[in-house]
Amino acid sequence: MPENRFETVPGGRRPRPGQEHFAAEVDEGGLGAVDAVKSDEAPSSLWRDAWREMRRRPMFWVAGVIILLVVTVAAFPQLFTDVHPRFECELPKSLAGPEPGHPFGFDRQGCDIYARTIYGARASVLVGVMSTVMVVVLGTIMGAIAGYYGGWSDAILSRITDIFFAIPLVLAAIVIMSITTNRTSFTVALVLASFGWTSIARITRGTVLSVKNNEFVTAARSLGMGRGRILLKHVLPNSAAPIIVYATVALGTFIVAEATLSFLGIGLPPSTVSWGGDISQAQASIRQAPEILFYPAAGLALTVLGFLMMGDVVRDALDPKARKR
Amino acid sequence: MLWYLGRRLLQVIPVFLGATLLLYALVFLRPGDPVAGLGGERGLPEAVQEQIRQQYNLDQPFIVQYLLFLKGVFTLDFGVDFRGRDIMDVIAQALPVTFQLAIMALVIEAVFGIGFGLIAGMRKGGIFDGTVLVISLLVISVPTFVIGFVLQFVMGVKLGWFPVTVGRDPNFYSLLLPAIVLAATSFAYVLRLTRTSVTENLSADYVRTARAKGLRRSQVTGRHVLRNSLIPVVTFLGADLGNLMGGAIVTEGIFNIQGVGGTLYQSIIRGENITVVSLTTVLVIVYILANLLVDLLYAALDPRIRYA
């Protein structure tokens, strides 16, 4: 351990030769915390602390397993079922109960409900992930420019954000989707993202505003770093935490929004297997076979729950105020 | 405060113009001719189509159409729809129903959300807290329309406690179940917000001071903790009023309520552009006003906002 220039042992302060003035005890002066940092260790960053904190929470593992499972099912549905969700339907088996090989029974069209539930994951995950990525990119760019450059760009971008914020997401999506003839996962995600980015823009603007006044930004500027480079290298990485937390939760909301659109019949077309569409189908036969509604609804709820819980855990881990308690 | 009020009111103008222009463009710049399909299979004679186009200003350039529509908004005269009904009448019929539904939902989510949130926050880490948190997560993750179907089927069809659909004349009792469905998701958010806010305030210095000077527990909870915890909750509730009215489309569809949502959905399906734009404009105005109200309320409750 390197020789300490300042005496740090509590109560063990001896006057050095030539020292005449009296200094406060180290602990009283608030230097104790600074001295407690071990200088030979790598500095513990926010992210490392957060990761250590998250690993301890059982909820993190539950949410992680759910998300992993749903993503695997969405990517490789063939691994989980041999039955095709659309081309192996037998109308005589309409609304029939479970039988060997078909654990959940059949829907009104005589399609295997288990296979449809498995294949339905892809649409939800795809739309959720795509719209979240678009929202994060667009919202971060708008918010960062508004917050970092201020002035006219802030005034204009903030008004644009206000305008899009004034139109409720589902309302806008219904209006646009009803006039869209080419309805794919991508267009649904695009429509949801084009009206869903405002919250991220506002959050980013707020964080960038508070981060850009930090000492390390002043230091970088006095070292001659360009404004754009400071924004990319220093300000944005330090504004990432709230954006990530919001994005995790937003993913869940977008999945629900997609299901709502498909349920209304203006989301994904019936040729795409989706949970929202299947719920809408099941609703038609709810009086004869209410249990059909359960499977797609459970898949949807489980997926959203996974992302919500993950968002909760990440927020707790990234918020040092909550951690102390 | 007056200066803040003026500035905030000025901000509403560009937002209103931008939002209505955006919606108008989305609806009216869509491909296809709304008039051509009106006559069914045989189609309308060319002269009649021409007259309808003139009546709805469809022969004018887009920006003129928009300005004429804006004039209609300010004079409260939206014209008649393709079936000859005065759109103002349609709005006057639909808006009170949706408004009543939204207010009922707002009261439900406020009472239960704040109540449960307060208890959970006061006993953080307890059994009640844990149960309520899990339930709120579940409620958020199940979409509104699933909750709607399940409650309609169980409470309406199986148990017969509530009317299954609302239909022509809604009353308090028949709107109760739809209001619960509409409130469900926001209820969970209000609960979680109140809980977080209460736990934060419980460890605040002024609460410790209040306890130290010997105030009764109920006084500390009611005056100090709850009142301060309600600031973010009130903000959420105000903004949610707009959301509830816009989001009623699904709930109104399930329970067959003739409100703004139900009417809007039917006009979208039928391609009645002018009705769609008028109704969405009304919803956007409600949404903007609700957000304005929230900001003013916030500024009144928290002096720090005014001077920012």
Quick check: A171 and B246 CB within 8 A? yes
Q: Which run of H or of E encompasses A210?
A: helix A198-211
**What confidence tier does A24 reach under pLDDT thresholds 50, 70, 90?**
low
Is the confidence at residue A211, as pLDDT, over 60? Answer: yes
Return the amino acid letter for A131.
S
CA A67 remoteness from chain centre: 12
Instruction: Name chain A contacts of B141, Cβ cutoff 8 Å.
Output: 252, 300-302, 304-305, 308
A 269-308: CB under 8 A from B:
276, 279, 283, 286-287, 290, 293, 297, 300-302, 304-305, 308
User: What are the C-alpha distances in Å from A151 to residues A145, A146, A158, A202, B10?
Assistant: 10, 8, 11, 16, 18
The pLDDT assigned to A41 comes to: 59
Is the confidence at residue B261, as pLDDT, over 80? Answer: yes
Percentage above 70 pLDDT, chain B:
93
Q: Give B89-119 pLDDT, tens digit per residue.
A: 888 888 888 888 899 999 999 999 999 998 8
According to DSSP, residue A32 is labeled: H
Q: Touching check for A163 and chain B: CB below 8 Å?
A: yes
Is the confidence at residue B12, as pLDDT, over 50? Answer: yes
Quick check: B15 and A256 CB within 8 A? no
The residue with tokens 């708008």 is A142
The residue with tokens 């001077």 is B307
**What confidence tier does B32 reach under pLDDT thresholds 50, 70, 90?**
low
CA A27 remoteness from chain centre: 41
CA-CA distance, B178 to B170, in Å (whole number)? Answer: 11
Residues contacting A247, CB < 8 A, separation 6+: A132, A135, A136, A200
Instruction: Name chain A contacts of B18, Cβ cutoff 8 Å.
Output: 159-160, 162-163, 166
Instruction: Name chain A contacts of B249, Cβ cutoff 8 Å.
Output: 170-171, 174, 264
Q: In angstroms, how far apart are the furthest CA atoms of chain A? A: 101
User: What are the C-alpha distances in Å from B194 to residues B69, B110, B136, B156, B234?
Assistant: 42, 10, 12, 31, 10
CA-CA distance, A32 to A182, in Å (whole number)? Answer: 64
The pLDDT assigned to A130 comes to: 94
The candidate with the shortest Cα–Cα distance to A200, out of A131, A271, A293, is A131
Q: Give A99-130 pLDDT, tens digit per residue.
A: 776 777 777 777 777 888 888 888 889 999 99
Average pLDDT on A300-304 reads 90
> Which token pair is B177?
């179940």
CA-CA distance, A102 to A83, in Å (whole number)? Answer: 9
User: What count of other Cβ atoms lies within 10 Å of the Cβ of residue B304?
Assistant: 8
Separation of first and last alpha carbons in chain B? 11
Quick check: B145 and A168 CB within 8 A? no
Best mutation target among B141, B152, B260, B289 (most A Cβ atoms within 10 Å) is: B141
Q: How far is A166 from chain B (nearest CA, A)?
A: 6
**What confidence tier does A324 reach under pLDDT thresholds 50, 70, 90?**
very low
| Phi-psi region at A265: left, alpha or beta (left = phi > 0; alpha = psi -120 to 50) | left
Instruction: Name chain A contacts of B143, Cβ cutoff 8 Å.
Output: 256, 259-260, 263, 276, 279, 297, 300-301, 304
- The residue with greater pLDDT, A219 or A284, is A219
Average pLDDT on B232-240 reads 82
The residue with tokens 């009611």 is B222
Q: How many residues does chain B have?
A: 308
> Which token pair is B214?
């010997």
CA-CA distance, A305 to A255, in Å (whole number)? Answer: 11
Which residues lie across from A112 on neighbouring strands? A106
Q: Give A159-176 pLDDT, tens digit per residue.
A: 899 888 888 788 888 888
Judge residue A324's burial from the number of C-beta atoms within 10 Å of its C-beta, 0-12 exposed, 13-18 middle, 19 or more buried: exposed
Average pLDDT on A295-314 reads 88
The pLDDT assigned to A8 comes to: 47
Average pLDDT on A281-310 reads 84
Instruction: Name chain B contacts of A263, Cβ cutoff 8 Å.
Output: 143, 145, 250
Q: Which of B153, B250, B268 sits opposite A175 (nearest CB)?
A: B268
CA-CA distance, A166 to A198, in Å (whole number)? Answer: 10
The pLDDT assigned to A20 comes to: 55
- The residue with greater pLDDT, A324 or A240, is A240
Quick check: A252 and B16 CB within 8 A? no
Percentage above 70 pLDDT, chain A:
83
According to DSSP, residue B221 is labeled: I
Quick check: B27 and A304 CB within 8 A? no
Residues contacting A127, CB < 8 A, separation 6+: A185, A188, A189, A192, A254, A255, A258, A268
Average pLDDT on B215-222 reads 83
Average pLDDT of chain B?
82
CA-CA distance, A206 to A147, in Å (whole number)? Answer: 7
Instruction: Name chain B contacts of A168, Cβ cutoff 8 Å.
Output: 242-243, 246-247, 283, 287
**What confidence tier does A65 reach under pLDDT thresholds 50, 70, 90?**
very high
Instruction: Name chain B contacts of A195, Cβ cutoff 8 Å.
Output: none
Average pLDDT on B113-136 reads 87
| Cα dihedral A304, A307, A310, A314 sign | negative
**What confidence tier does A273 reach under pLDDT thresholds 50, 70, 90?**
confident
**What confidence tier does A2 reach under pLDDT thresholds 50, 70, 90?**
very low
The pLDDT assigned to B201 comes to: 83
Give the lowest-confidence range in A106-115, A221-230, B275-284.
A106-115
Separation of first and last alpha carbons in chain A? 33
- The residue with greater pLDDT, B107 or B51, is B107
Average pLDDT of chain A?
79
Please give the residue of chain A at the shortest CA–CA distance from B28: A179
- The residue with greater pLDDT, B37 or B75, is B75
**What confidence tier does A42 reach under pLDDT thresholds 50, 70, 90?**
low
> Which token pair is A217?
């930004």
Average pLDDT on A304-320 reads 83
CA-CA distance, A254 to A258, in Å (whole number)? Answer: 6
Spell out the alpha helix ranges (H) of chain B. 2-28, 46-55, 62-74, 87-122, 127-141, 144-151, 172-202, 205-212, 217-219, 227-254, 260-270, 273-301, 303-306
DSSP assignment string, B123-180: TTTSHHHHHHHHHHHHHHHS-HHHHHHHHIIIIIIIS--S-S--BSS--HHHHHHHHH
The pLDDT assigned to A138 comes to: 94
Quick check: A308 and B269 CB within 8 A? no
> Which token pair is B57?
């200003």
Query: Does the predicted model carry a pTM greater than 0.90?
Result: no
According to DSSP, residue A3 is labeled: P
Average pLDDT on A240-250 reads 85
CA A50 remoteness from chain centre: 16
Is the confidence at residue A43, as pLDDT, over 50? Answer: yes
> Which token pair is A263?
């349920």
Q: Give the long-range contacts of residues A39-43, CB within 8 A, separation 24 or more.
A: A39/A2, A40/A1, A40/A2
Is the confidence at residue A325, as pLDDT, over 50? Answer: no
Which residues lie across from A106 on neighbouring strands? A112
Give the lowest-confidence range in A26-40, A170-184, B238-252, B260-274.
A26-40
The residue with tokens 């959420």 is B236
The pLDDT assigned to A3 comes to: 44
Q: How far is B131 from chain A (nearest CA, A)?
A: 14
Nearest-10 crossing angle of helices A58-75, A113-149: 110
Average pLDDT on B156-179 reads 80
The pLDDT assigned to B108 comes to: 93
Which residues lie across from B80 on neighbouring strands? B86
Best mutation target among A62, A164, A175, A253 (most B Cβ atoms within 10 Å) is: A175
CA-CA distance, B51 to B29, in Å (whole number)? Answer: 20
